[in-house]
């Protein structure tokens, strides 16, 4: 299962919208949508925040190619978290 599919399944299982999950992890709902659709891979930091909120074990995902550096944070993530 891809990271996006796993996030979507876990998010929907909790009854959360993409915007609600985004708010909990410091990004927009549009960012969550792009992750779920496979249009983008999150930074390791963002993937970890999502995993914590959704109680997902990222270690079990062998197909996910997450960037391991802090440089993986996009300007949108910085803006949403106030780090800009």
CB 44 within 8 A of CB 72: yes
Question: HEC states along 62-77?
Answer: CCCCCECCHHHCCHHH
Q: How far apart are CA 19 and CA 24, in angstroms?
A: 9
Task: Note the CATH architecture for domain 1-58.
Answer: Orthogonal Bundle (1.10)
CB atoms within 10 A of CB 51: 20
Summary mean pLDDT of the chain: 80
> pLDDT tens for residues 23-58?
999 999 999 999 999 999 899 899 999 999 999 887
Domain ranges of the chain: 1-58
Confidence of residue 82 (pLDDT cuts 50, 70, 90): low
**Arithmetic mean of pLDDT, 9-21:** 97
The reply to whether the predicted model has a pTM over 0.75 is: no
């Amino acid at each position: 299962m891809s990271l996006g599919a796993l996030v979507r399944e876990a998010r929907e299982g909790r009854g959360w919208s993409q915007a609600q999950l985004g708010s909990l992890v410091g990004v927009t709902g549009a960012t969550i949508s792009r992750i779920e659709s496979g249009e983008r891979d999150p930074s390791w930091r963002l993937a970890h925040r999502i995993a914590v909120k959704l109680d997902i074990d990222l270690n079990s995902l062998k197909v996910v190619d997450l960037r391991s550096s802090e440089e993986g944070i996009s300007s949108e993530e910085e803006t949403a978290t106030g780090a800009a």
